Amino acid sequence: MESSPSPYAHRPLDFVEKIEGLKDYDAICSAISEELAWYGFTCVTSFIMPGPGEPFKKGVHLNTRPQDYIDHYEEKNYVLRDPVVTELRDSVRPFSWSDVVERRDLNRADKRIIEEAREFDVNDGLIIPIVTLSGALSVFSPCGRNPDLSQDARRAVELISLYSHQALKRVLLEQVRGSEAHTPLTPREKEVMRWIAAGKSDQEIAGILAISPATVTVHVERAKRKLDAFRRTFAVVKAIRFGEITL
């Protein structure tokens, strides 16, 4: 007699099929929360790791944790010290909070950050790193009082996290495109902006594209005007938002 298939095997694919038909941000968020609840995750935060000096909340795609906790987390600038986030310096593979507690010798301040999260009725969770080819890092982090952290559950939640992250990015990008207008970039301007996003200087871009540094500057300035950005770093951010370039 054949054994029945594990629910962990089909749930992620059923979820993908469900969410593919959703176009509304709130509907997508509800579907994500409902699916994660089956695994015992009562809250989830999906965010882009902030750069130096950037506020944590600016890069949040989805958050169902209590707002008081998020405000406290940002006020204390925990994102730079939270042991379940700083673990990403050593590993870009999924892990749980309890994994970090077991394998690291945490100091009192580290333990306090984890304990404060538990004060909001969540005891454990997963960190799912999502890495782009450029090295940029996003994090999908579901948590709960007693979540299912079995290996089967972890694999399923990783698949759910990856697709959820993409679905959120798509719908938010569509919202931005619908609310802001800009003049499309030329192919050369896109090339230049992609290399700026990769951290190249005007001199380096000139060598790569076989043009002069002055011509590179001209393309940058034109792209900045089209994107209504007074700094090139902001122009890169807006170019990504509008779908002109990808990382």
The model's pLDDT over 97-147, given as tens digits with 9 standing for 90+, comes to 999 999 889 999 888 888 888 888 889 999 999 987 666 788 999 999 999
How far, in Å, CA of 137 to CA of 195, rounded? 18
C-beta separation of 165 from 61 below 8 A: yes
Fold of 7-179: Beta-Lactamase (3.30.450)
Sign of the Cα pseudo-torsion (243, 244, 246, 247, in order): negative
Q: Where are the domains of the chain?
A: 7-179, 187-241
Pick the more confident residue, 163 or 53: 163
The tokens for 140 are 């999908």
Q: Is the pLDDT of residue 232 over 60?
A: yes
pLDDT in tens, 75-99: 888 877 889 888 988 888 999 999 9
How far, in Å, CA of 126 to CA of 143, rounded? 6
Collect all residues with Cβ–Cβ distance below 8 Å to 72 and sequence separation of at least 6: 116
C-beta separation of 215 from 205 below 8 A: no
Pick the more confident residue, 243 or 105: 105
Give the model's confidence band at 17: pLDDT under 50 very low, under 70 low, under 90 confident, else very high: very high
C-beta separation of 78 from 50 below 8 A: no
Give the model's confidence band at 172: pLDDT under 50 very low, under 70 low, under 90 confident, else very high: confident
Q: Which amino acid is at 107?
A: N
How far, in Å, CA of 172 to CA of 166, rounded? 10
- The reported pLDDT for the residue numbered 129 is 94
Fold of 187-241: Arc Repressor Mutant, subunit A (1.10.10)
Pick the more confident residue, 51 or 184: 184
- The reported pLDDT for the residue numbered 1 is 47
- Three-state SS for 128? strand
Residue among 137, 37, 134, 148 at smallest CA distance from 86: 137
Alpha helices, H only, the chain: 7-20, 25-38, 67-75, 83-86, 97-103, 108-118, 151-179, 187-197, 202-209, 213-227, 232-241
How far, in Å, CA of 230 to CA of 49, rounded? 23
Residue among 95, 98, 93 at smallest CA distance from 123: 98
DSSP conformational letter for 147: -
How far, in Å, CA of 143 to CA of 146, rounded? 8
The tokens for 119 are 């004060």
pLDDT in tens, 136-163: 788 999 999 999 999 999 999 999 999 9
Torsion of CA 86, 133, 18, 140, to 10 degrees: 10
The rounded percent of the chain whose pLDDT value lies above 70 is 91
C-beta separation of 41 from 156 below 8 A: no
